[in-house]
Amino acid sequence: MTSASLFDPPTSPPDEALALLILRLTPQLGPRRIEALRQHFGGAAAALSATRAALREVPGLDSRSVAAIGDPKAETLARAEQSRAAELGVTLLYRGLPGYPPALDALSDPPAVLWVKGELPDLPTVPRAIGIVGTRAASPHGAAFTRMLAADLARAGVVVVSGLARGIDTAAHGAAVEADGTSIGVLGSAVDVIYPSENKALASRLTLLSESPLGTGPAQHLFPIRNRLIAALSAGTVVVEGERKSGSLITATHALECGRTVFAVPGRAGDPRAAGPHQLLRDGAVLTEGAHDILQELGWGRVPAQPLPDLPPEQARVLAALRGPVTLDDLQGQTGLPLAELQTALVMLQLLGLVEETGGRWVRR
């Protein structure tokens, strides 16, 4: 091949957005190599117009990468992807172009292209967003705590970010939108392939985000990649439950690498699901018993008071004391109520749907 341009499109040269998508859909090119091309040539379109000799000068590009750049199939795929996205109401966001969330600059390998379904909230360098992650096999107590935490954060104007998995993720998303808040589901699949399938209805109420092309199904290797986006899109990540070796702790590691704050919820001694958070607490994570711990740590104010129905004094006192999961004994100590009156108040609050008991602890719904 001569030193002529590698890219000879049938119609017109690609604009910067299309050029980025072409590079994204070119085999052998990942986020770091695409960014190296963009930086070296001043843009993706310029990179596609470069000679092979010039491409060989780009740091980090091997011979296979150089050979792959300029394959006409990638342009065909990219144009088809843009058309399909428009049909599905999916927005494509391109690194370096307007609309791309600055929060992802915290990553060493920000995606070249993002697929977004729904309205993406403002996510500046330090976003007012919190990632909530945890095990798929959540305990009743963990799920209840997550719902309380996500709802309180949502009412404080905090975006709740999670991965739409079963268990803790599902509880976090559901409570955030039920509290009329905003929640982002970061997927280990394409935004048009909802996994698990039972979360399709929930997904329709979220903003969905992925760095995978349309039609990509869930795959094991995509979930750790997804986790780094949850970490970067959030000012801090809360680990509710998870074993020592779990995706939740991978997300926490990414959060630290991004300079974000890690929060951990203490669990029961001996429960494998508490092992991960307890390890994080030993390593210096912020102990989290409610949204107030997160808001205070980040300087975001307080949880706004929740409008309550007119309640008898005993019930109001009990509800005010429920700032986190507590045992009956602890609640009695906080309220000063006789045990019989306390139990009666809890039963009435439970009938009103304001509290629930899980695993021997009481939480506000």
Cα separation values, 186 from 132, 138, 174, 189, 191, Å: 11, 19, 14, 9, 9
Tally of CB atoms within 10 A around 136: 17
Query: CA 234, CA 127: separation in Å to the nearest integer?
Result: 6
Question: What pLDDT, on a 0 to 100 scale, did the predictor assign at position 5?
Answer: 39
Residue 106 has pLDDT above 80, yes or no: yes
Pairing of strands 355-358, 236-239: unpaired
What DSSP designation does 365 have?
Answer: -
Q: In the beta sheet, which residues pair with residue 364? A: 355
DSSP strands (E only) in the chain: 90-94, 113-117, 129-133, 159-162, 183-186, 207-210, 236-239, 261-264, 286-287, 355-358, 361-364
Cis bond before residue 196 (omega within 30° of 0):
yes
Least confident of 163-167, 247-251, 308-312: 308-312
| pLDDT digits 0-9 by tens, 122-181 | 999 999 999 999 999 999 889 989 999 999 999 999 999 999 999 999 999 999 999 999
Rounded average pLDDT over 320-335: 86
pTM: 0.84
Query: CA 97, CA 71: separation in Å to the nearest integer?
Result: 24
Rounded average pLDDT over 275-304: 95
Of 165, 161, 153, 169, whose CA–CA distance to 123 is shortest? 161
Run of H or E including 23? helix 16-24
> Nearest 5 degrees, angle CA 362-CA 341-CA 351?
55
Six token digits for residue 268: 């029961």
Least confident of 20-24, 40-44, 49-53, 338-342: 338-342
Confidence of residue 308 (pLDDT cuts 50, 70, 90): low
Least confident of 10-14, 130-134, 269-273, 348-352: 10-14
- What is the overall mean pLDDT for the chain? 92
Query: CA 309, CA 216: separation in Å to the nearest integer?
Result: 47
Of 237, 239, 183, whose CA–CA distance to 209 is shortest? 183
Six token digits for residue 324: 């986190």
Which residues are CB-contacts of 318 (< 8 A; sequence separation ≥ 6)? 331, 335, 337, 342, 345, 346, 349, 355
Of 43, 41, 32, 15, whose CA–CA distance to 111 is shortest? 32
What structural domains and CATH numbers belong to the chain?
1-86 (no CATH), 129-298 (3.40.50.450), 313-364 (1.10.10.10)
Residue 31 has pLDDT above 70, yes or no: yes
Query: CA 339, CA 175: separation in Å to the nearest integer?
Result: 31
Rounded average pLDDT over 343-353: 84
Six token digits for residue 330: 């602890």
Question: What pLDDT, on a 0 to 100 scale, did the predictor assign at position 310?
Answer: 76
Confidence of residue 13 (pLDDT cuts 50, 70, 90): low
Tally of CB atoms within 10 A around 120: 20
Of 75, 40, 79, 83, whose CA–CA distance to 58 is shortest? 40
Residue 70 has pLDDT above 80, yes or no: yes
Q: Whose structure tokens read 């590079």?
A: 23
H-type alpha helices, 219-353? 222-232, 247-257, 272-282, 291-298, 313-321, 328-335, 339-351
